[in-house]
Amino acid sequence: MLETLLDLPLFLGLFIFVLTISAAGLIVAFFSRKMLKNRLTKQHEKVGRLLFRVTAGLIALLVSLSYANERVHNNKIVDAMEIEAAMIITVGMRLNHFESDEAKNAYKKIYDYVELTINDEWKNMGSDPYFSRTTQSIIEAYYLTTKIPTNNESEALEKIIILNGINEIISLGQTRVYSELPSTPYLIYILLCGLAFMWIFFSIYEPDFVSLLFLTLYNVLIAILIYFVFSLSNPLTGPLKVKPQSLIVVKTKGFDMYLSK
């Protein structure tokens, strides 16, 4: 259900989510107060205030930890892509040492792999990741490399190094394969459930303008954090998706210059 927010622009999706959470908070708090007002005692109010503070603090803590965790996962993909770009440059330079057609075709296949990745071809990898155009390009580069003729031990060693490099590129690419499809972490639903309990506990307070304003401001803050946690948990889709900047540099500063010669 929340995955539809990833198809919207950042500010529109954020606005809809914040508005929904804020309105839900006011509605739940209002009706909870209306239902419990005549049954509340001093003891209930004391317990309710305690539970409200504990729940609000726990939600804030969980959101903070979730944001930090998803940020680490996001950086993992960025780091893997930077290493992958470095490996692609190394493999490309070594392939240029060979004059055979197999080496030139393998180079072009790696170029196709980079271009398909930059052009968001990873969107199509989710349903069939191992037979997508992106995956097939790097696999074809591997098999073309195995057919490169060698004339001496030095060239044979160079060929082995290239094959190991392509294997490393394939392994690094798997980091993206496992993050292709948009999903909602279970923790998001736990946080939303915690918010619902917090709104119910808030019903022990008199619903005047200032109290509702403070509750709304808290809801807005938590909703913004939850939205960013949700977006970061889907690093290859949505408005906060990871951009292949390192591969763009490889293409514009390396491959395009070589292929234009």
Digit-coded pLDDT (tens) for 73-87: 888 888 888 898 889
Higher pLDDT, 126 or 58: 58
The answer, yes or no, to whether residue 197 has pLDDT greater than 90, is: yes
Band (203; pLDDT cuts 50, 70, 90): confident
Band (213; pLDDT cuts 50, 70, 90): very high
87-115 pLDDT, tens digit each? 998 898 888 888 889 988 999 999 888 88
Q: Give the C-alpha separation, 104 to 126, whole Å.
A: 30
Q: Give the C-alpha separation, 235 to 243, whole Å.
A: 9
Band (227; pLDDT cuts 50, 70, 90): very high
Residue ranges covered by each domain of the chain? 2-259
The answer, yes or no, to whether residue 12 has pLDDT greater than 70, is: yes
pTM summary value: 0.79
Q: What is the mean pLDDT of the chain?
A: 85
Kindly state the average pLDDT of the residues 208-229: 92
Q: What is the dihedral angle through the alpha carbons of 169, 171, 173, 179, rounded to the nearest 10 degrees?
A: -170
- Taking a C-beta distance cutoff of 8 angstroms, is the pair 236, 176 a contact? yes
Q: Give the C-alpha separation, 21 to 184, whole Å.
A: 16
Q: Closest by alpha carbon to 134, among 241, 19, 258, 244?
A: 244
